[in-house]
């Protein structure tokens, strides 16, 4: 029986693109996780859908219960949280805790759910999502977001180091400036900022969700040796 595929954040720009890319391409069942059933319905057929808040312990418990009936061999972490005015000064502990809870701690909790089965079957492919901010210090108003993603990069290296002998490969993709709507909706950036920022990328334009989904697809389904890596997909933005 083919290993099953877990995609969290499946209704986001990149998550939806990844789902469309791998649907019917591989044998395993897809479990698509999003915050609302309304958005998940846009995926159509081809997935088991689960609407939960992964930043909430009840959401993690519901995911754990649901996954009991699946053999997760592939885990794509695409859910996340970001806010505008995310600064070190003035610092909002409540706001930062929410960002860290969703972006980092929920990923750890999901790994706690899926790793035992991967170890038992001696196979696993884990693809987490970082950001360029984790490497270069980020914007002044994305402090906790970048901090959470730096934690994700450590998490990838930790899992890669200690579970490779169990047939488990773990990597992360680090997107640069990607046209998904995240910067407008979550970070409160203006249309003028988005336009100028896209043109400032070294290749002269922003990336798109397919650029990220393509690399994730490769790392999961066409990879038997790469592990512990943070793959930058940023159009040369930070060279």
Sole residue written with tokens 């930062």: 96
> 127 lies in a domain?
yes
Mean pLDDT by 10 residues, the chain (239 residues): 92 94 89 94 90 96 97 97 90 95 98 98 98 85 94 98 98 87 57 73 84 97 98 86
Residue pair 4/28 in contact (Cβ under 8 Å)? The answer is: yes
SS3 162: helix
Do the domain assignments include residue 239? Answer: no
Instruction: Determine the 3-state secondary structure of 19 from DSSP.
Output: helix
Strand-pair category, 72-77 with 4-8: parallel
pLDDT at 5: 97
Q: What is the pLDDT of residue 147?
A: 96
Q: Per-residue DSSP letters for 26-72?
A: SSS-EEEEES-HHHHGGG-SSSEEEE--TTSHHHHHHHHHHHTT--E
Query: Can you give the pLDDT at residue 182?
Result: 61
Question: Is the residue at 205 inside a domain?
Answer: yes
Domain ranges, residue 24: 4-233
Q: How far apart are the first and last CA of the chain?
A: 43
Sorted by sequence, the CB contacts under 8 Å of residue 9 that are 6+ apart come out as 15, 33, 34, 77, 78, 79, 80, 129
Note whether residue 111 is domain-resident.
yes
Q: Are 106 and 54 in contact (CB under 8 A)?
A: yes
The values of phi and psi at residue 90, to 5°, are -75, 140
Residue 69 lies in a domain: yes
134: CATH: 3.40.50.720
Q: Which two tokens stand for residue 210?
A: 């397919």
**What is the reported pLDDT for 186?**
52
Domain count across the chain: 1
- Rg (alpha carbons) of the chain, rounded to whole number: 17
| pLDDT for position 191 | 64
pLDDT of residue 210: 94
> C-alpha dihedral over 216, 77, 110, 24, to 10 degrees?
-60
């Amino acid at each position: 029986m083919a290993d099953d595929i877990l995609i969290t954040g499946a209704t986001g720009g990149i998550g939806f693109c990844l789902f469309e890319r791998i649907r019917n391409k591989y044998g395993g069942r897809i479990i698509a996780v999003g915050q609302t059933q309304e958005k998940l319905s846009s995926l159509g057929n081809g997935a088991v859908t689960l609407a939960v808040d992964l930043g909430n312990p009840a959401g993690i418990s519901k995911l754990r219960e649901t996954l009991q009936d699946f053999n997760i061999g592939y885990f794509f972490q695409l859910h996340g949280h970001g806010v505008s005015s995310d600064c070190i000064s003035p610092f909002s502990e409540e706001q930062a805790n929410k960002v860290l809870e969703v972006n980092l701690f929920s990923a750890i909790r999901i790994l706690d759910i899926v790793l035992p089965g991967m170890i038992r079957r001696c196979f696993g492919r884990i693809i987490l999502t970082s950001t360029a901010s984790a490497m270069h210090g980020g914007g002044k108003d994305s402090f906790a977001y970048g901090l959470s993603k730096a934690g994700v990069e450590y998490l990838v290296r930790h899992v890669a180091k200690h579970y490779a002998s169990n047939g488990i490969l773990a990597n992360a993709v680090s997107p640069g400036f990607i046209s998904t709507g995240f910067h407008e909706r979550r970070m409160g950036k203006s249309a003028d900022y988005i336009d100028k920022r896209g043109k400032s990328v070294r290749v002269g334009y922003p990336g798109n969700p397919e650029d990220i989904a393509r690399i994730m697809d490769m790392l999961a389904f066409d990879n038997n040796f790469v592990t512990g890596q943070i793959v930058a997909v940023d159009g040369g933005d930070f060279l």
